[in-house]
Amino acid sequence: MFLLALILILIFSVVIHEVAHGSVANYLGDPTAKYAGRLTLNPLKHLDLFGSFLLPIATYVISGGTMVFGAAKPVPINPNNFRDQKYGSAKVAIAGVATNFLIAAVFGLILRFLLGLNIVSGVTSSVYDLLTYVVFINLILGIFNLVPIPPLDGSHVLFTFLPPSQEDFKNFLMRYGWVILIFLFIFPIGSFSLLNSIFNMAAFFYKLLVGAPLIL
């Protein structure tokens, strides 16, 4: 039952993330997501069998119940329609990440308020646990999507500021992005682990927002 609640939190977090992308793209002159019916919070329009169900269950089991991660279908976007051709793609990319951080901040402050009132007990503790995951999952999503490797949002920001002389590097990342990401997730490089780094950063910002260490 708790796993189901976590998956629902994840689903709505990634749905809001994708709607933010589509909404900003529409604002910038690209109605592709709008015409595709993706500017809606109806999760059925955004769900993906692997990213929205199988991946969350797998990450929950592999992490021993400490993490759940997943994704929705990316909203269709045509950057050629943007009025702002220079920074449009970066703005659309940042919109999704910013939305996850905003959700984390709002619910993190709610948790801080509950701790301040010292009312986290009994039934309230279950609500507190769920709110903890709302904050943590959205921090994970925001931080993960900032990784500058395609198809993640951070790559669009990177490509916006990458000089034309680095076109070969850009093409390399676009071609092998998924392979690089999978490699970084599975194999640590020395003492560096992408998964642990994202987890630790999320835990740090959780403590910053809530005023208490993350306990899962």
Where are the chain's structural domains? 2-210
Answer for the pair 70, 55: CB distance below 8 angstroms, yes or no: yes
**18 among known catalytic residues:** yes
Q: For the chain, what percent of residues have pLDDT higher than 90?
A: 58
Q: Which is more confident, 123 or 62?
A: 62
Residue 123 predicted with pLDDT over 50: no
> Amino acid identity of 1?
M
- Cβ of 124: how many Cβ atoms within 10 Å? 12
Mean pLDDT of 96-123: 83
Torsion angles phi and psi, residue 107, rounded to 5: -75, -25
Kindly report, residue by residue over 139-164, the tens digit of the pLDDT: 999 999 999 999 999 999 999 999 99
Kindly report, residue by residue over 172-183, the tens digit of the pLDDT: 999 999 899 888
Residue 76 predicted with pLDDT over 90: yes
Residue 205 predicted with pLDDT over 70: yes
Query: In the structure, what pLDDT confidence band is assigned to residue 54 with cuts at 50, 70 and 90?
Result: confident
Query: In the structure, what pLDDT confidence band is assigned to residue 122 with cuts at 50, 70 and 90?
Result: low
Catalytic residue among 6, 15, 18, 134: 18
**Please, what is the average pLDDT of the chain?**
88
pLDDT number for residue 188: 78
Answer for the pair 141, 100: CB distance below 8 angstroms, yes or no: yes
Rounded to the nearest angstrom, the gap between the alpha carbon of residue 60 and the centroid of all alpha carbons in its chain is 16
Rounded to the nearest angstrom, the gap between the alpha carbon of residue 203 and the centroid of all alpha carbons in its chain is 15
The region that residue 21 occupies, defined by phi over 0 for left and psi between -120 and 50 for alpha, beta otherwise, is: alpha
pTM here?
A: 0.90
pLDDT number for residue 189: 80
